[in-house]
Amino acid sequence: MAIADPPAPTDFAELRAEYRAFMEEHVYPNEVALGREDDPAQELIVELRARAKAEGLWAPHLPPEAGGTGQGFLAYAHLNEEIGRVLWAQYVFNCQAPDAGNGEILHLFGTEEQKERWLKPLVAGGIRSFFSMTEPEVSGSDPTDLRTTAMLDGDEWVINGHKWFSSGAEGAAFGIVMAVTEPDAEPRRRTSQIIVPADAAGIHVEPVPTLGHRGRGWTTHCEVTYSNVRVPVGNLLGERGTGFLIAQKRLGPGRIHHVMRWLGQMQRAFELMCTRALEREAFGGPLAEKQTVQNWIADSAAEIQSCRLLTLDAAHKIDEEKDARVEISLIKFYAADALSRVVDRAVQVHGALGLTDRSPLAQMYSLARGAHIYDGPDEVHRMVVSRRILKAFASGEGWSFS
């Protein structure tokens, strides 16, 4: 079967160069200061965000009609090879998770009133949000089994439940909560999504210390309890019973957004590894002359390029409004493995230095572990890919890689 030619990697070279120049001038020099996450870091991030907005590099994940500067998924994939290199860069350009995903579904499913109240200030960078789906009592990879409920009482929803890993909930202005509103419906029609102001009575937010995330505000992962939380009926996002559908619309792009950022992480780790291998002497010569290190460099180059082409192919399909569920699941688990391997090799080449805060690798290594779990564990995505492929063969259609 013929494999489609991948999109040309130079299509967005000029746009990518603009982001690279901004990163080199404003982000890399401030990386350590931003990582302290103290009051001066908060002031600095405000300054950098204002610069990014002034230079027209703002919200590249959303199209202009939603308030962003985006040119589609393929363009965004190329940009994240620059943005993804530093954790804080996505926040500088206002394309950070979970706000990016929330902005997308508000744009797709929100009413005009919801867009005016929540989407507009979110895209403008005046507020943050969180997505409240995962629960500690049930598997996060199966959103059809959620227990949080929302009961209609007159013209209000009354929400009760327990969520966790609601990223960025501390200091957010609102959350999008996935709750059971149709308990008697079939599993994929039981839930709805509801916009909940963070200052509503009955909400309690508690940050959960998490590997790789040690700060406050946007970088936190939070436990959230809802005790008789009341919100207007008009806060329903989309239609009743479409929570699972909207979640799939959100999580698909959200997963590829993660992979796009991982490309930046991989490439930065690769560059650090190669540079260190040439500089560091051991046993009579530079590490670059050792066959094991040469193998690591060759394997890493192959894995990074494989991830790039898989990601660009999936982004191209999304831009053409084709079904890319298999491609997204495939790159989600493949790229998580590649990310972990590449960063691990880079740490090994650096030796003890790679474990310290004098190199960005230590934080990159910590963050890479979570890639195998959030937005669906690797095992689930492997299952999704294999089932879809086998179903195609069972139907007699076979599977095409084009």
4 Cβ contact partners less than 8 Å away, ≥ 6 residues apart:
313, 401, 402
Helix axes 291-319, 325-350, angle to 10 degrees: 150
d(CA 144, CA 188): 6
Question: Is 400 domain-assigned?
Answer: no
Amino acid 11: pLDDT:
62
Cα gap 40→259, rounded to integer Å: 30
**Is it the case that residue 5 has pLDDT exceeding 80?**
no
- pTM given for the model: 0.90
Task: Residue 198: give the domain boundaries.
Answer: 129-237
DSSP string covering 7-32, please?
Answer: PPTTTTHHHHHHHHHHIIIIIGGGHH
Grouping H, G, I as helix, E, B as strand and the rest as coil, residue 207 is: strand
- Total of domains in the chain: 3
Q: What is the CATH number of the domain that holds 110?
A: 1.10.540.10
Sign of the Cα torsion 385, 78, 55, 112 reads negative
Percent of the chain with pLDDT over 90: 85
Average pLDDT, the chain: 93
Same domain? 266 vs 388: yes
Domain termination site, one of 186, 215, 237: 237
Tally DSSP H helices, then E strands, for the chain.
13, 10
Tell me, yes or no, whether 190 and 305 share the same domain.
Answer: no
**Residue entry with tokens 């010569």:** 285
- Pairwise CA distance, residues 19 & 49, whole Å: 13
User: 307 CB contacts (<8 Å, ≥6 apart)?
Assistant: 259, 262, 263, 266, 331, 334, 335, 338
Cα distance between residue 52 and residue 94, in whole Å: 9
Measured distance CA(328)–CA(315) in Å, rounded? 9
Do residues 96 and 229 both lie within one domain? no
Lowest mean pLDDT among 256-260, 266-270, 348-352: 256-260
Query: Which among 209, 237, 265 is the end of a domain?
Result: 237
User: In this structure, what token pair is assigned to residue 176?
Assistant: 């999008």
Chain segment 151-184, per-residue pLDDT in tens: 999 999 999 999 999 999 999 999 999 999 999 9
